[in-house]
Amino acid sequence: MPAFAKLSGLVAATHTPFGPDGSLNLGVVEKQAEHLAASGVATAFIGGTTGESSSLTVNERLALGERWMAATKGSTLNVIVHVGANCLADARALAAQAESLKAAGVSALAPSYFKPGSMSTLVDSMAAIASACPSLPFYYYEIPSMTGLSLSPSDFLAAAGEKIPNLAGIKFTSNNLVEYQLCREAAGGRFDIPFGFDEMLLASLALGATSAVGSSYNFAAPIYLRVIDAFKKGDFETARKEQFASVELIRILAKLGYMAAAKATMGMLGVDVGAPRLPNGALKAEQVASLRKELEEWGFFQKLSARA
């Protein structure tokens, strides 16, 4: 089994940029990468849920991967490519491209239309994808809120550990902290389990998390970096305060539809990733103005410039 370095710090699940007509606007990728690096983000996780991968064609996903790898060449920002798809042949093609481009890793959620009905089927599905990128660390993407899958991720590690040679761990996007602990302790702590629930980052740090994957790290990384810094210093009052700021921020965005509001917030920061594609709805101009006003009143822009 290859030994892969575990992830550390913040991993931003990036938006896929679209133009006014809804087509890919890949010219924004460089600006996204620069913004993340300047914000203290260590890694970009592209083409995932935040990246609206289920609304992209395979060719668009291939073009997105190629552009991100070109944009980050020589950068300190690493790139993990999400390749999961309902069609495993598509997922394998995306994984093979990620390996050829020398991405930092690959991740895949389970097929969710025809759902794997057993653990052995889930393992076989992930093994089929991972075998297309044998030299890269492979992360199973646990996100039951989207896949509707109820199979235990810790059981997956037990079943897949010897069957997927490049299995690095699990991108754990769930608020089940019991399962998170079981995954962290699986095989004597061998696996990397980056935590993927932004509003509970502090809880995951208390349980040993060393990295976190999230959508709000695109536009609010300083808040989370202060959570991490305060936790490391043992300043739990500050850590809890900053974590609650995350909860408040995400509630503000969710009122208008989280995907559209998050992308609009990126535009306010000078990184115009456009509106989401259907079936995610877009915000009207007056809604964007209302959102900006609420964010200003809440102190969002000041919170981005505050120091740890």
Residue 171 a catalytic site member: yes
Cα–Cα distance between 33 and 76 in angstroms, integer? Answer: 10
| Integer Cα distance of 141 and 149 in angstroms | 11
Angle made by CA atoms 252, 235, 38, in degrees to the nearest 5: 55
Between helix 258-268 and helix 217-233 the angle, nearest 10°, is: 90
Of 171, 180, 217, 263, the catalytic one is 171
Among 6, 73, 140, 141, the one annotated catalytic: 141
Q: 217 catalytic, yes or no?
A: no
> Is 213 annotated among the ligand-binding residues?
yes
Contact (CB, 8 A) for 276 and 259: yes
**CA distances to 30, 43, 54, 75, 207 from 72, in Å:** 8, 10, 24, 5, 32
Residues 93/119, Cβ–Cβ less than 8 Å: no
What DSSP character marks residue 45? E
Residues 131/100, Cβ–Cβ less than 8 Å: no
Active site residues: 141, 171
Known binding site for pyruvate: residues?
50, 213
Q: Specify binding-site residues.
A: 50, 213
